[in-house]
Structure 1
Amino acid sequence: MRRTFVYLLALGLLWTTTAMAAPTIEVEALMTNTAVLKIDGERKTLRAGETYKGVTLISAYSRTATLEVDGKQMVVGISRRIGADYQQPSEQVVTIRRDARLQYNTNATINGRSMPVLVDTGANLVALSSVHAKKLAIDYQTGVQARVETASGMVNAWVITLRSVSVGGIRVENVEATVVEGSFPNTVLLGMSYLKHVDIKESNGVLSLSRAW
């Protein structure tokens, strides 16, 4: 009887250990608020807010996704395999000092080319002039045409998608932007279509942009 009890106890411990083991997850594809994951060998497409086998997709973009497993959130990239030995990736941080005009100016790499930019949390999209677009070899007139108001009045504009925007190594792909006909804005505005992908903190005249991964 004692031997049987010990055997059953061992089975119970084995079952508990197996049940508590974190699932093995592979990230196969990422889209906005959608991720294709392989969870314990089974392929599953999750949309933001959905849960499967204890894995919840919090959010997803073209390069990273935020998952929640066993109450813990993790930021992962495509082709990333996650198991019980997962470690949270280090955080990328870019610091920008406020200038004499109380603005935050820095350089960004847009579609692979460097360009001065002004951080503007009040702009919904990254905004650039047609002069900037020509320097970047962007065929902006294939975008969706619109009209915007400037200091000179109403002018033509085009909504386009930039291949990538990178600031200090924090790269975001497929960034929506507005190209305004003429020379306005004088400096490319780094708007929320990029900034929504990063955490923003401001302290003592220093702006910090950060993102895990």
Structure 2
Amino acid sequence: MALAVERLVVEALFANKVMVSIDGKRRMLKPGKASPEGVLLISSDSRQALIEVDGKRDTYNLGRHVSSSYSEPERQSAKVWRDETGSFTILGSINGRTVQFLLDTGATAVAMSGVEARRLGIAYKRKGTPIAVGTASGMARAYEVTLREVRVGAITRRGVRGFIIEGNSPTQVLLGMSFLSQLTMQDKGAYLLLESRF
């Protein structure tokens, strides 16, 4: 039996799948398979989704709330362009210093090499917590830190969780989920549109 849905927000749109928040719970919907709350995706592309809620079908755009009385505030955004390798990269800053980010939804935090951290003036050995992280080459020694400020486009987040990995890898700073989880993502083909959810 379907549960009453009070709040539904579309967070990311893709061809034939959509990421939504249902009463605060994040779900990935695919056509024909209802969520535990009874929300059913009929169809979707990178612009909109046709979703059935409580037996009623309606078209949803990115960020749209199920309640027509909801007034969405202006949101911060950034365009992350796809490079020649198919990866999404963007210039941004950490603690006010410019860095090249590689968007990586598989990374749990904003991650960088020890070499990059020293360039940015991050005293990770003194202020960080020693940890071990898994990399493409196996386990590596790292430090968990709190980054004072991370900025991409018009989006600024403070107190972002970061990993500093000893050595010179990764060669680019990974923009991971400690930053991305607070945003919606919409695939526009040539670029990915990031927008703050509040």
TM range (shorter): 0.5 to 0.7
Q: Deviations over 1:36-66 (max 9, x none)?
A: xxxxxxxxxxxxx9xxxxxxxxxxxxxxxxx
Q: Taking structure 1 as reference, are residues 102 and 146 closer, same or farther at Cα in structure 2, changes over 3 Å only?
A: same
* RMSD across aligned positions (CA): 2.4
Q: Report the counterpart of residue 185 of structure 1 in structure 2.
A: 170
Pairing 1:92–2:76 present: yes
Q: Deviations over 1:83-103 (max 9, x none)?
A: xxxxx4323221122111000
Pairing 1:166–2:151 present: yes
Task: Show the 5 A alignment for 1:1-213.
Answer: 72-73=69-70, 88-141=72-125, 142-211=127-196
Match of 1:103, as an amino acid?
A: S
- Count of matched residue positions in the alignment of Structure 1 and Structure 2: 134
Q: Deviations over 1:166-192 (max 9, x none)?
A: 101200110001000001111000000
Taking the aligned partners of 1:199 and 1:149, their CA distance within structure 2 comes to 26
Give the number of the structure whose residues are more often helix, by fraction.
Answer: 1
Q: Report the counterpart of residue 9 of structure 1 in structure 2.
A: none
Taking the aligned partners of 1:140 and 1:200, their CA distance within structure 2 comes to 30
Uncovered stretches (5+) of structure 2, i.e. residues with no partner: 1-23, 25-64
Taking the aligned partners of 2:108 and 2:135, their CA distance within structure 1 comes to 15
CA contact (8 A) 2:82 2:89 kept: yes
Q: Taking structure 1 as reference, are residues 202 and 139 closer, same or farther at Cα in structure 2, changes over 3 Å only?
A: same
CA contact (8 A) 1:148 1:157 kept: yes
Q: Report the counterpart of residue 30 of structure 1 in structure 2.
A: none
What SS does the aligned partner of 1:91 have? coil
TM-score, normalised by the number of residues in structure 1: 0.57
Uncovered stretches (5+) of structure 1, i.e. residues with no partner: 1-48, 50-67, 75-87
TM-score, normalised by the number of residues in structure 2: 0.61
Taking the aligned partners of 2:118 and 2:89, their CA distance within structure 1 comes to 21
CA deviation after TM superposition for structure 1 residue 140, in Å: 0.5
Taking the aligned partners of 1:155 and 1:90, their CA distance within structure 2 comes to 41
Match of 2:193, as an amino acid?
A: S
CA contact (8 A) 2:111 2:162 kept: yes
Q: Report the counterpart of residue 55 of structure 1 in structure 2.
A: none
Taking the aligned partners of 1:183 and 1:102, their CA distance within structure 2 comes to 23
